[in-house]
Structure 1
Amino acid sequence: MSDLPTPWPVGYRSRSATPADVQAVHRLVAACERELLGRAVTGIDRIAADLGLPDQEPESDTVLVHDCQGDLVGWGRVRGRRTRIHVHPDHRGRGLGRSLLDWSEARGRQLGSDRLSQSVPDSDPAASALLRSSGYVPLVTEWLLAITMPVEPEVPEPPSGITVRPFRPGDEQAAYQVTEDAFDEWQQRRKTYAEWARLTVEGATFEPAASPLAFADGQLVGVVLSSDVPGSDEGYVERVAVRHDHRTRGIARTLLREAFRTFYHQGKRTCTLWTHTDTGALSLYERIGMTVRRSSTVYSKALILEQPAGGPQRGEP
């Protein structure tokens, strides 16, 4: 909540965010990304999902910070064990990052989280230094991979017994099951269907034509979900998942190359996707011709949860 006892720097005030703030938060995030990465990379769908999930309380999990002119210059969000923080480039070095970090930890404790983690671009040494000085330690490395397509990508034949077709209405629940089952091996919290759908198949940028599915005996066993961001000259692969009992057969490679070819026919000459240490998939992407464009580090910190007033009760440890 924005009314947590956080000492904001002089001249700044805070309030909770609402779904009506999507455009303003997106502009702030885009300004931060242009400063650090040279281009805005987060779509407005992602911000809308952050501020409007049906099983979330935006007024409790987010905070906006405005300057004395009323301009949005910082924001923070806590959900489960993950937090996101952005400070406008023109307002860095004034203590806003530290205040937002303090807010996120206080809110995390209120929510009962025993740990918080945050992803920071490796091109942002100031943010990394702030987290390290606050007791955060590196957890995993994330990589943005890209493939250039000067000619139409070749697509291998599907493995024996596998059929491939594009995503179509009615595939949502099966795709959710396959992707979340696969991601359960490393993700901290399984998404609800509503949250997953808002981030993928219900988003305005979801591209079903570039989202091929693999089937074995009529059952979905492999999924690639892609996005076509308006104004971007690149295709983006959002999810890659293969059911555990069908891995190492080349299904993921076939689906990815199929997605690349579709984007090529749509005029895209580059495709990108994110992966990280825990997925163990970096070598797969490199074998199909993708290279690392940039990296981020996820930092993590254990939180000491607040004791109820009066401390432990008699008979409690």
Structure 2
Amino acid sequence: MSDLPEPWPLGYRSRSATTADVQAVHRLVTECERRLLGRAVTGFERIAADLGLPDQEPKPDSVLVRDSKGDPAGWGWMKGRRARVHVHPDHLGRGLGRSLLDWAEARARRLGIDRLSQSVPDSDHMANALLRSSGYFPLVTEWLLEITMPVEPEVPEPPAGITVRPFRPGDAQAAYQVTEDAFDEWQQRRKTYAEWARLTVERATFEPAASPVAFAGGQMVGVVLSSDVPGSDEGYVERVAVRRDHRARGIARMLLREAFRTFYHQGKGTCTLWTHTGTGALSLYERIGMTVQRSSTVHSKALTIEQRPPGPAGDRRRGDL
């Protein structure tokens, strides 16, 4: 595949990233995380999903930048209004970050996208400074919360009329409905079922035993979807959702503690999850004993859309935050 036309610092070349690059991109991203956070936190499946979901709409754009030896030095990813940029720690301070940011903004403008957002750990001072100097402003705060489990977590009794059991085959469609209905309150684009499933119940790390679901009158009204973190003593909660007409009854708290207890019996010493200001759920997690471990900020920038002659239908695409 030929190199892309965007300008890069001297000595660097680029091409579009493909599914064949999943391992290389994953190594690059996790090395960035080890240097910044002290540990790798992005799973291989996350990168594979970013590069390999054929039914995603809008389609993602990505670029892999290589040094003079052909080794990965940075990568950029953009889908709809979201972007991600990573520069290998050994290549920081050479202008790659700004070039990748320029690449993402240029791609967005060509596609008729009027705003671009990017989440950056608050501890990454260099990246935060770059975004601020490039016209981005803070939009949303994200928090990673953790609970340690030295003893078996206590689980409250279900509210009246509510039954609870672990996730079973056949629950996926109902879980999709409950979670996407709940997330519609703050997300800009509803996922298709196929996209949602690949990011949750079809992942190899999905842990149905630690994914309790709640029913009322035979209908699913609450769900927690969890993953097993390979090679660690940590469980991870991917999604928490309760149907609107059953909120404020303690269902989310009960489901979370049921997931914690399952992970405890599997030998996990901690459990983590991410939340952000849009969900309004931080106080819930803190009340059940979780504490903030680190934070990130979603930065956003309004873009001037590139004016282009009218093209075929579907030539201009819009996406989510």
| TM-score interval for Structure 1 and Structure 2 normalised by the shorter chain | over 0.9
Say which SS state the counterpart of residue 160 (structure 1) adopts.
coil
Partner of 1:90: 90
- Asked if 1:25 is matched to 2:18, the reply is no
2:109 and 2:177 map into 1 onto residues whose CA distance is: 31
TM-score scaled by structure 1?
0.95
Q: Which moved more, 1:59-68 or 1:158-167?
A: 59-68
CA contact (8 A) 1:51 1:58 kept: no
Within 5 A, what are the aligned runs for 1:124-203? 124-203=124-203
Question: Where has structure 1 moved over 4 Å in runs of 4 or more?
Answer: 1-4, 57-60
Partner of 1:66: 66
- RMSD, aligned CA: 1.7
CA contact (8 A) 2:58 2:79 kept: no
The one-letter amino acid of 2:218's match is: G
Within 5 A, what are the aligned runs for 1:222-233? 222-233=222-233
2:253 and 2:67 map into 1 onto residues whose CA distance is: 49
The unaligned stretches of length 5 or more in structure 2 are 311-321
Within 5 A, what are the aligned runs for 1:1-317? 5-56=5-56, 61-309=61-309
The one-letter amino acid of 1:302's match is: A
Say which SS state the counterpart of residue 308 (structure 2) adopts.
coil
Say which SS state the counterpart of residue 14 (structure 2) adopts.
strand
Per-residue CA deviation, residues 145-171 of structure 1 (Å, 9 max, x unaligned), is 000000000000011100001011111
The unaligned stretches of length 5 or more in structure 1 are 311-317
The one-letter amino acid of 1:65's match is: V
1:59 and 1:165 map into 2 onto residues whose CA distance is: 36
Aligned pair in 2 of structure 1 residues 27, 59: CA closer, same or farther (>3 Å)? farther
CA contact (8 A) 1:2 1:60 kept: no
Q: Which moved more, 1:157-166 or 1:59-68?
A: 59-68
Report deviation, 1:58.
11
How many residues are treated as equivalent by the alignment? 310
Report deviation, 1:113.
1.3
The one-letter amino acid of 1:101's match is: L
Aligned pair in 2 of structure 1 residues 52, 269: CA closer, same or farther (>3 Å)? same
Identical counterparts, % of pairs: 84
1:209 and 1:266 map into 2 onto residues whose CA distance is: 10
CA contact (8 A) 1:238 1:273 kept: yes
The one-letter amino acid of 2:79's match is: R
Report deviation, 1:5.
3.8
1:268 and 1:219 map into 2 onto residues whose CA distance is: 31
CA contact (8 A) 1:9 1:95 kept: yes
Report deviation, 1:124.
0.4
Aligned pair in 2 of structure 1 residues 58, 177: CA closer, same or farther (>3 Å)? closer
Aligned pair in 2 of structure 1 residues 237, 268: CA closer, same or farther (>3 Å)? same
